[in-house]
Amino acid sequence: MSHKKEADTSRKHRQRRVRRKIRGSAERPRLCVYRSLKHIYAQVIDDSTGAVVASASSLESAFNKPEPPAAKSEAKPEADEKKSDKKKGKAAAPKGSKILCSEEVGRMIAGRIKEKGIEKVVFDRNGFLYHGRIKAVADAARKAGLQF
């Protein structure tokens, strides 16, 4: 069995274990987060009806990719030029940009759900470990006013 299959099987097992305990309702729906290699997705789901109340992702056309901090991007301009020359004109993504995108998705989903009058949700990390991009979505949603 390949490493990717083992990792995916383990995540699915963690996902089932968490879902046995977590249920979303109309008063307190479930905030489910999924991360792929390039993007992050968040959905707020009412499990009693099976309906998606709101969603946000880093693929949306309204999504503006946040600018990385200026200190990090100006640290070594010569090294960035060398890297982009090696990749035949393609500039490397700034370090930490996926986490910044995750924070933006967290703010977007919190704003959309608060417009519908929902303040409390149940957080579902979907079998992923609670660190990095998953934590960034959760922290940004909390800062925007969601309670969980």
- What's the pLDDT tens digit per position in 67-78? 666 655 454 445
Mean pLDDT over 87-112 rounds to 80
The pLDDT of residue 93 = 56
Pairing of strands 122-124, 40-46: unpaired
* Residue 2: both structure tokens together: 């390949």
Q: What distance in Å separates the CA atoms of residue 35 and residue 58, rounded to the nearest whole number?
A: 10
Q: What distance in Å separates the CA atoms of residue 45 and residue 54, rounded to the nearest whole number?
A: 7
Q: At what angle do helices 133-143 and 97-115 cross, to 10 degrees?
A: 40
Mean pLDDT over 134-140 rounds to 97
The pLDDT of residue 114 = 95
- pLDDT at position 11 over 50: yes
Mean pLDDT over 36-61 rounds to 93
pTM: 0.75
